[in-house]
Structure 1
Amino acid sequence: MDPCPFVRIVVGNLALKFPEASSRLSSASYYCKFKLRGVASQISDVSHLAAEGDAVESRIHVCLALSKPEIEKLAAKSSDFSTLKIEIRRRGGRESGGCGSLRSGKLVGCVLVQLDLKNILENSGTNRTSVIQNGWVSIGDSGLKLHMNVRAEPDPRFVFGFDGEPECSPQVFQVNGSLKQPVFSCKFGFRTSGERALRSRSSATDTSTSLANCFRSAGAEEDEERPLKERKGWSITIHDLSGSPVAAASMLTPFVPSENSDCVSKSNPGAWLILRPGYGTWKPWGRLEAWRERNRGIGGDRLGYRFDLIPDGGIDTVSLASSTINAKSGGKFSVDITTGFTPMSSTSSSFDLGSASGSGSSSDLGSASWVHLLYRGFVMSSTVRGDGKSGKPEVVVGAQHVTCSEDAAAFVALAAALDLSVDACRPFSRKLRKEL
């Protein structure tokens, strides 16, 4: 089955130019906030040119990804839904005249970029890039100008959907619109504290019984839950349609509560090892850490995560994503190194496609630049359910980095491990159901 058509709205080469009489404004730092209806807002720092002859730095600042159904939905509405709003905001600094501090986040100006969604939709199935805006744009009557390059790029992606929760050993389908095609099966295993033996539930068992066990009533779950002092020994293996294992995720570090707490803390996170088959054995491909951050205030607890790539199954790792998700409502795990080394933890990070340099320390760049060149443009995301809720993860993977079933299966295993981490990081004062 072919990948699904996606489009990325890429914004790059940002720079500010101030009128000569506004030197006090150029002493502050600025950032841009990008807003498009139906898409999460993003921000990125923007530099200003000190002299007339200064060159604009060539780099990508922000990428907004849209699927074909999302574009069709926006195109059917008013022009407000197809307008990219770029707010220029000022942070920090102090006026040279001593009139007081400049308020962080103060709106300086706004630029509206109209997106021709119908034209973008027509080009979504091709390899053509559409340039939407390129060059300097005046901001009001202040004399302030913003340089930008805005373009739409086709970005096909494979979409995979679980037909149940990972601990229920579900099937995984490739999805393209209304079409669904089975591609993988999952096999969940766990080791009990008494037997310390691996027990597995295969998707080849009776489907009705498996689903009944996973979606039984809350009252029945309470009767069969049991307290645990640690959570360890969980694993999930991904099989292709022939039954051959093509990827796996296995708990590497047990999930245990921190001292004087009933939660897994960031200082001592649990960890998964994501594995791929190689030369008759399993080869490390990635490492996922997860923990729970307690928050008694508005928003509640957060599920924290960090994903590191293990190039060529070696010892050194490269961090690709680090962030948190609302533990109650869930959210989306995402890796996108198009605009930075750790885009989820630094909204202002960037990656220079020409020189392989980006935000971060020099040691980060020295050890990781070749990896990011190799994975340049790669994207992956997965939905994550909230604590105590049932959910079926949906995984989206950039097509240019999927050349075989093992490639896709590794990301399916990663998504399953993250979903299971919601349960593994659940407060130990709350019991788990029998399946875990």
Structure 2
Amino acid sequence: MDPCPFQRILVGNLALKFPVSSKPSLLSLQCFCKIKLKNFPTQKAMIPLVTSQNRNQNPEINSLSNSLAACYSLDKAKIDNFLSCKKPNSLEIEVYSRDDGATCGLKDGKLLGKVTVPLDLRKAESRPCVMHNGWIDIGENKKGESTQFYLCVRVEPDPRYVFKFGGDPECSPQVFQVQGSARQAVFTCKFSLRNPGDRNLVSMPSMTEPTPSRNWLPSLGADKHPPAKERKGWSITIHDLSGSPVAMASMVTPFVPTPGSDHVSQSNPGAWLILRPSHGTWKPWGRLEAWRERNASALGYRFELLHDSVSASPSTTTLVNSVIKAKNGGKFTIDMTNSVSTPASSPHSSCDFGSGSGSGSWSGSEFSLGMLSPFVHKGFVMQSSVNNGDGPCNKPEVEIGVQHVNCTEDAAAFVALAAAVDLSVDACKSFTHKLRKELRQSQSFVV
């Protein structure tokens, strides 16, 4: 089945240049903008100033402005809606300044000017297209000199494979590949629980039980005083339609509450290993940690790739470190837009916006079994929906950039990661909360 069409609108390389005759105090202003696109939330970004020392340089090579300011993702329905509009769609940017000493500069200040950039998505159906790249006059002073605003707006195709769980991951559902209204079963999930009394998480190599490195496991067997409450032993195995296991998520660090509270904290997070098959055994590919933020209003998480290393401790690359609101849920996103070293966990993260789209193709050997170089990850990687865990049925939807899928195991690894994120919502719930029956068996209480 073919991937689903997506497009992304990227805004970056922002810079602001005041007239040469402007007062020096203007250079101490904090400038920011509001970026608006119809039917999308407004995004905000700081704007670096071009000073007299660097005003002859182009912003795209100026270290102050080489960053992504906003990103909008459009699925096929939104693309069709854009194309069907009789009035051309445009991106609107409002530029503001503040001088009250605030550090974020994201509240309304003095409006310096507005910019409108028309968008033609048809031009970007098959290849990236720059809608604007250069200076724009946004206002004049009393001498008739213009303040100039620099930005780059690019639209690029971003096809993705879309998968949807047939039910809650803990209910061992099927996973379907989705394209429009068509659905095709491609994976099955098997959720399992270890015996709560079994504290030995290391087993002999097999394709039914993970054998991660001991470097990543706590010395659980040596605990003389186990925690009063813990959630442990959860795992979910992804099988292809032939029944062969192609990925696994295994809870390797129990989720336990911080002493004196009923929540898992960032100082002692629970953890999963995402594993892939290798020569008849399992090999760690990534590690997911999850916890509750201090006010318990959000799920915090961190995901890192594991790389083979000759040293005692495997090397890692952190791809995302962020939060998801606990009340309404949200999206687990790995986005390395045009970055070879800096994760873009939010639209305001700094990244190399001027280096190109990063759309390339890589062989499966480069991507498999935890050996992926961090320099291969570019552009949109994956996204999965995460709810608050209180609904009657949760069916996570997973989007994966096509450039990161070369074989079944590639897609399965991301599906297993999405399942681990979803299950982490339950694992991080207050220990006064009663879990659903599929999960309760592994919540042990030690008297």
Q: What CA deviation, in whole Å up to 9, does each residue of 1:106-165 have, x standing for no partner?
A: 243332222124x25xx42x2x22221121111133521111221211111110110111
Query: Against the structure 1 CA distance between its residues 273 and 75, is the aligned structure 2 distance closer, same or farther, given a 3 Å change threshold?
Result: same
Contact 2:17 2:149 in 1 (8 A): yes
For residue 140 of structure 2, what is the aligned residue in structure 1? 141
- Answer yes or no: is 1:48 the counterpart of 2:55: no
For residue 29 of structure 2, what is the aligned residue in structure 1? 28
Q: What CA deviation, in whole Å up to 9, does each residue of 1:203-239 have, x standing for no partner?
A: xxxxxxxxxxxxxxxxxxxxxxxxx810001000111
Contact 1:239 1:246 in 2 (8 A): yes
Q: What CA deviation, in whole Å up to 9, does each residue of 1:26-63 have, x standing for no partner?
A: 22343333222233443443322223422223445133
Percent pairwise identity: 54
For residue 352 of structure 2, what is the aligned residue in structure 1? 351
Give matches, 1:259-408, under 5 Å: 259-295=259-295, 301-312=297-308, 315-338=314-337, 341-344=342-345, 347-351=348-352, 354=355, 371-389=373-391, 390-408=393-411
For residue 214 of structure 1, what is the aligned residue in structure 2? none
Per the alignment, in what secondary structure is the counterpart of residue 38 of structure 1? Answer: coil
User: Normalising by structure 1, what TM-score?
Assistant: 0.79
For residue 247 of structure 2, what is the aligned residue in structure 1? 247
CA-atom RMSD in angstroms: 2.8
Shift of 1:14: 2.1
CA distance in structure 1 between the partners assigned to 2:248 and 2:34 by the alignment: 39
Contact 2:331 2:383 in 1 (8 A): yes
Q: Which of 111, 114, 117 pairs up with 1:110?
A: 114
Q: What CA deviation, in whole Å up to 9, does each residue of 1:323-380 have, x standing for no partner?
A: 111112111111101165232368242236649xxxxxxxxxxxxxx94431122421
Q: Which amino acid aligns with 2:230?
A: E
CA distance in structure 2 between the partners assigned to 1:333 and 1:69 by the alignment: 21
Per the alignment, in what secondary structure is the counterpart of residue 414 of structure 2? Answer: helix
For residue 13 of structure 2, what is the aligned residue in structure 1? 13
Q: How many residues are treated as equivalent by the alignment?
A: 378
For residue 72 of structure 1, what is the aligned residue in structure 2? 80
CA distance in structure 2 between the partners assigned to 1:147 and 1:330 by the alignment: 36
CA distance in structure 2 between the partners assigned to 1:387 and 1:85 by the alignment: 37
- Answer yes or no: is 1:156 the counterpart of 2:159: yes
Per the alignment, in what secondary structure is the counterpart of residue 3 of structure 1? Answer: coil
CA distance in structure 2 between the partners assigned to 1:279 and 1:68 by the alignment: 39
Contact 2:171 2:191 in 1 (8 A): yes
Query: Against the structure 1 CA distance between its residues 65 and 346, is the aligned structure 2 distance closer, same or farther, given a 3 Å change threshold?
Result: closer
Query: Against the structure 1 CA distance between its residues 192 and 322, is the aligned structure 2 distance closer, same or farther, given a 3 Å change threshold?
Result: same
Shift of 1:269: 0.8
User: Normalising by structure 2, what TM-score?
Assistant: 0.77
Q: What CA deviation, in whole Å up to 9, does each residue of 1:288-338 have, x standing for no partner?
A: 11111253xxxx711111111223487121111111111121111111011
For residue 360 of structure 1, what is the aligned residue in structure 2? none
Per the alignment, in what secondary structure is the counterpart of residue 421 of structure 1? Answer: helix
Contact 1:378 1:400 in 2 (8 A): no
- Unaligned 5+ segments in structure 1 are 96-101, 199-227, 356-369
Q: Which amino acid aligns with 2:118?
A: Q
Shift of 1:398: 0.5
Q: Which amino acid aligns with 2:306?
A: I
Per the alignment, in what secondary structure is the counterpart of residue 320 of structure 1? Answer: strand
When structure 1 is superposed on structure 2, of 58-67 and 189-198 the one drifting more is 189-198
Query: Against the structure 1 CA distance between its residues 35 and 324, is the aligned structure 2 distance closer, same or farther, given a 3 Å change threshold?
Result: same
- Unaligned 5+ segments in structure 2 are 202-227, 357-371, 440-447
For residue 60 of structure 2, what is the aligned residue in structure 1? 57
Give matches, 1:208-227, under 5 Å: none
Shift of 1:400: 0.9
